Amino acid sequence: MAIDILFKGGTVVTDAGMFKADVAVAGEKISLIGANLKPEPATQVVDCKGKLILPGAIDAHTHLAMPFGGTISTDDYETGTRAAAAGGTTTVFDFILQDFGEAFPDAIKRRDVIAAPQAVVDYSFHLAVKDVSNGLLYTMEDAVKMGVPSFKVFMVYDFGVTDGVFYEVLEHSKSIGALIAVHAENNELVGYLTNKYINEKKTSAWYHYMSRPEFVEGEADVRAIQWAKNAGAALYIVHLANKQGVEAVTAARDEGYPIFAETCPQYLNFTRDVYKRADGINFVCSPPVKGKESQAALWDAIIRGDIQTVATDHCPFLKSEKKWGADDFRKIPNGCAGIENMYPYMLSEANKGRISFSKAVSVCATDVAKIFGLSHKKGAVEVGRDADIVIYDPKARVTVSNKQMHGATDHTIWEGVSLKGYPVQTWSRGRLVFKDGKFLGEKGAGQFVPCKPIKLTTPDLHNL
Ligand code: URP
Ligand code: ZN
Ligand code: ZN
């Protein structure tokens, strides 16, 4: 097989370790990994001396061009995936909000016609469930057959599902190869606490946190896990941000239940004190960022393996939109940008010694692919997988500034954060899409990646 591209002289990072090797690419795939591979006359050689060769990250949680909070999230499929590429992310899973009365395959088609001409890196979808009445439940299976086997239910927001619907989709998921994900917060308590603080004229961003504190999320995590256990179904908790929830996930996994959890970089780097800052409104997301104890529990769970994935929950809004709620936290559109920051941040934490590079790769790429049925194509530097490759310079030093970001948002909660090391090149299926700070990709070059049906019956991903 011809070698089109040869990544030479670098250190390959997998979820299991690091080793010096050259990586050859033929067409869109990794074709060979080994020592001292020889280029052919037409081979493009990429000098990787002193650099790490990593799989492109898979962001399992984005909201691109999503109608939400009275507006539409700022990044569309072009600007969102452009920012992803610039941060070393080569696949994004975007959430499709089902319309009431809409069959799931129709929802996929409705969004794919928008995504396909815009995306610059590959993408897949999760479906956010609103309505399973009148036979719509049974269209979940058609979505699985189209390569979208993951569904999220919301326990909050005005389109959240009832407990009965949540349980029904959990039961149904088992027979069709689907995985149910949940946004877990106690809606009744959020409502009660919100009204209480508004009536007391406590309206600042801090009261967004106070109306959704640790126990409001933790209680819902416990309940969701209990239902999954009773239904005999796997469960994936998105954007886990609190210690009680971590403990519930850990306990269920120790008992052998297939319970999985994702957290986000904003919960790992910031604490609830951000809501007291002058720019506190910009950090408003749900669940809100929590206290130090929760943050420590999240890191410990990543290290133990009880949290398997890190994803962004990228859902940016303009400063002017965030300001709608300057005097009333209920009016702040919920969500923050992060698609360009996740992999650089997690790798920087590895470079600073908090976790290993292998752990950063597993939570941002390899285990994401395993959970969502993408291991046949994505998530590792391995022969036969797509040549989605990031070249990482561990010696680079970057202070995050929105001016250097590649999305459409006019601010970033990551402004001023210092990173040790940075991705210097991103390759998407053998195409160079980002180099030394410059975006080089092409609108519409990203492709929809169908996922395989998901059957998670044990907490141990290595048994898949
Ligand atoms: O604040 C957030 N997380 N916005 C996006 C929607 C969601 O709940 O994931
Ligand atoms: Zn959510
Ligand atoms: Zn989200």
* 69 CA distance to ligand 2 middle (Å): 13
Could you tell me which CATH number the domain at 57-375 has?
Answer: 3.20.20.140
Ligand nearest to the CA of 288: 1
Name the residue with the closest Cα to ligand 1, atom 8: 286
Beta strands in 203-346 (DSSP E): 235-237, 259-263, 309-310
Neighbour-count burial of 327, counting CB atoms closer than 10 A to its CB (0-12 exposed, 13-18 middle, 19+ buried): exposed
Q: Which residues' Cβ are closer than 6 Å to ligand 1?
A: 63, 183, 285-286, 313, 315, 334-335
* 128 CA distance to ligand 3 middle (Å): 10
* 197 CA distance to ligand 2 middle (Å): 22
When the pLDDT of each residue in the chain is averaged and rounded to a whole number, the result is 98
Neighbour-count burial of 445, counting CB atoms closer than 10 A to its CB (0-12 exposed, 13-18 middle, 19+ buried): middle
Task: Find the helix or strand (DSSP H, E) in which 448 lies.
Answer: none
Are 311 and 368 in contact by the 8 Å Cβ rule? The answer is: yes
Ligand 1 pocket check: which of 334, 336, 339, 413 to mutate, most ligand atoms within 8 Å of Cβ? 334
> For position 271, what pLDDT does the model report?
98
Delimit the domains of the chain by residue range. 57-375
- Ligand 1: nearest atom to the Cα of 63: 5
> For position 1, what pLDDT does the model report?
83
Are 290 and 271 in contact by the 8 Å Cβ rule? The answer is: yes
Are 425 and 434 in contact by the 8 Å Cβ rule? The answer is: yes
- Ligand 1: nearest atom to the Cα of 183: 8
Ligand nearest to the CA of 212: 1
pLDDT tens, 191-238?
Answer: 999 999 999 999 999 999 999 999 999 999 999 999 999 999 999 999
Mean pLDDT of the region 255-273: 98
> For position 109, what pLDDT does the model report?
98
Q: CA-CA-CA-CA torsion for 426, 427, 431, 437, nearest 10 degrees? A: 10
Residue 299 in tokens: 């890191």
pLDDT band at 462 (very low <50, low <70, confident <90, very high): confident
- Ligand 1: nearest atom to the Cα of 334: 1
Beta strands in 56-158 (DSSP E): 57-62, 67-68, 71-72, 89-97, 122-128, 150-154
pLDDT tens, 52-68?
Answer: 999 999 999 999 999 99
Residue 169 in tokens: 């989709």
* 394 CA distance to ligand 3 middle (Å): 30
